[in-house]
Amino acid sequence: MSSNKILNAVGILMIFGVIILIFKFIIKKTETKLYSDDAMKVLQDENNLKKLEDVVSDYQKSGKWSKVEIN
């Protein structure tokens, strides 16, 4: 009777272990991006970054957003 309890306990621990491994695998494969690839290209270009800085500066002064064309 006690061997069945031990086997049941080991089985439950193995199930929890497999579930934890699955979660770790999912978390490892999931990538969180704060910016899209296109946004990163824009932010890395000095001319486009200057345009964005000017727009933000104008917004801080006037309180209104203006449109700017970015390649």
Per-residue pLDDT tens over the stretch 12-63: 999 999 999 998 888 887 677 788 888 888 888 888 889 889 989 999 999 9
- Determine the structural domain holding residue 60 and report its residue range: 33-71
N-term to C-term CA, the chain: 74
Q: How many domains does the chain have?
A: 2
Specify whether 3 is located in the same domain as 25: yes
Determine the Cα–Cα distance for residues 43 and 71; give it in Å rounded to an integer: 11
Under 8 Å between Cβ of 17 and 31: no
Q: For residue 1, what pLDDT band results from cuts at 50, 70 and 90?
A: low
Shared domain for 18 and 39, answered yes or no, is: no
Which pTM value belongs to this model?
A: 0.47
Q: How far apart are CA 20 and CA 8, in angstroms?
A: 18
